[in-house]
């Protein structure tokens, strides 16, 4: 904080009548309230947005209390205004005391990306929180400015697509058919990994397979990743529409895919669900 900002802040102490005005300049470094940024903590995170809390610490190095009369703040992303607020409730910092001021914010990722744009493979944007704390002074409010910055998440939702349905083999004697469903995974954000990857596959509206894929890594936001999911069908137990679709390779087949997974991101683990049905030609 500059000396010019410290001098008016020290004038708050004149309200006590304990320190002569002519001595204030000599004591300004010792008696000025101190404002410091503590941290940004995420209290909620999914692929739609994030909730966070910016916490500031106010230290009163004096033997008399200080009254915080106002608090103005503005949050910018990549130097573009996004949110702002004013708190006029006020609070008192006890003599020699410390208190915290918390700024809760909710950020919609769609709005954030529309505002600043985020490059392929990047899932954070620079933020700046700035404003001023107002303390009660002798003649007017004394303002102590602040500014702090860092990086904020801007996650993009992974995408999955049923890319192909392949008939691997048909065992008419055993009345079984082996299929493979090729799924393309796209990640528009930064490096992620998929854990607890559960999937369910339906053909012509009938669920025919489900299982766990385990983990998928290497989704770095620069290229798509294809995985193949095996599907075994008991032709005796399957519905007639499924059997007909499997054996008639000329007809289009309705294939549904449901995915549930935990996505590892640089900001923590985020749940992800996906549900899609496409009509494909049997390969």
For residues 194 and 62, membership in a common domain is answered with no
For residues 147 and 187, membership in a common domain is answered with no
* pLDDT tens across the length of the chain (283 residues): 333 334 344 444 444 444 554 554 454 445 567 889 999 999 999 999 999 999 999 988 877 778 888 899 999 999 999 999 998 777 888 888 888 999 999 999 999 999 998 877 788 999 999 999 888 765 567 788 899 999 999 998 988 888 888 888 888 787 888 888 899 988 888 888 899 999 998 888 888 888 888 788 777 777 788 888 888 888 777 767 777 766 666 667 888 999 999 999 888 899 999 999 988 876 6
For residues 129 and 175, membership in a common domain is answered with no
For residue 255, the enclosing domain spans: 159-281
For residues 194 and 143, membership in a common domain is answered with no
Q: What is the pLDDT of residue 51?
A: 97
Q: What is the CATH number of the domain that holds 133?
A: 2.60.40.10
For residues 138 and 31, membership in a common domain is answered with yes
For residues 77 and 203, membership in a common domain is answered with no
Whose tokens are 């025919």? That residue is 208
For residues 46 and 149, membership in a common domain is answered with yes
Count Cβ atoms below 10 Å from residue 223 Cβ, excluding itself. Answer: 10
Last residue of a domain, one of 130, 153, 176: 153
Count Cβ atoms below 10 Å from residue 81 Cβ, excluding itself. Answer: 11
**Number of domains the chain is built from:** 2
For residues 222 and 132, membership in a common domain is answered with no
* Burial profile 99-137: b = 16 or more Cβ within 10 angstroms, e = fewer: eebebebebebeebbebbebeeeebbbebbbebbbbbbb
Last residue of a domain, one of 138, 153, 168: 153
Strand 176-186 versus strand 268-281 pairing type: unpaired
Tokens of 103: 């700024």
Running DSSP on this structure, what letter comes out for residue 13?
A: G
For residues 112 and 211, membership in a common domain is answered with no
Rounded Cα distance, 12 and 139, in Å = 9
Q: What is the pLDDT of residue 6?
A: 40
For residues 172 and 236, membership in a common domain is answered with yes
Q: What is the CATH number of the domain that holds 256?
A: 2.60.40.1820
For residues 88 and 108, membership in a common domain is answered with yes
Tokens of 263: 């996505």
pTM of full prediction above 0.85: no
Q: What is the pLDDT of residue 171?
A: 84
For residues 260 and 142, membership in a common domain is answered with no
Q: Which residues contact 2 (CB under 8 A, 6 or more apart)?
A: none
Last residue of a domain, one of 123, 153, 183: 153
Q: What is the pLDDT of residue 11?
A: 47
Closest CA to 133 of 38, 58, 61, 77: 58
């Amino acid at each position: 904080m500059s000396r010019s900002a410290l001098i008016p802040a020290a004038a708050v102490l004149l309200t006590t009548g304990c320190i002569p005005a002519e001595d204030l300049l000599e004591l300004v470094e010792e008696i000025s309230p101190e404002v410091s940024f503590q941290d940004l903590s995420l209290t909620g995170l999914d692929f739609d947005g994030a909730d966070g809390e910016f916490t500031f610490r106010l230290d009163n190095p004096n033997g008399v209390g200080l009254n915080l009369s106002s608090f103005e703040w503005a949050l910018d992303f990549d130097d573009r205004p996004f949110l702002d607020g004013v708190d006029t409730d006020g609070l008192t910092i006890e003599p020699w005391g410390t208190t915290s001021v918390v700024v809760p914010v909710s950020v919609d990722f769609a709005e954030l990306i529309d505002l600043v744009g985020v490059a392929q493979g990047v899932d954070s944007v620079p933020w700046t929180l700035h404003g001023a704390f107002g303390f009660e002074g002798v003649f007017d409010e004394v303002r102590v400015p602040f500014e702090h910055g860092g990086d904020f998440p801007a996650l993009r939702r992974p995408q999955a697509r049923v890319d192909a349905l392949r008939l691997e083999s048909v065992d008419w004697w055993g009345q079984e058919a082996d299929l493979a469903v090729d799924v393309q995974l796209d990640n528009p954000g930064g490096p992620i990994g998929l854990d607890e990857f559960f999937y369910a596959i339906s053909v012509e509206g009938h669920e025919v397979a489900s299982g766990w894929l385990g983990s998928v890594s290497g989704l770095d936001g620069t290229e798509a990743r294809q995985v193949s999911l095996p599907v075994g069908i008991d032709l005796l137990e399957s519905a007639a529409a499924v059997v007909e679709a499997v054996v008639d390779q000329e007809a289009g087949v309705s294939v549904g895919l449901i995915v549930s997974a935990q996505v590892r991101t640089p900001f923590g683990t985020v749940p992800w669900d996906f549900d899609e049905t496409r009509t494909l030609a049997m390969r």
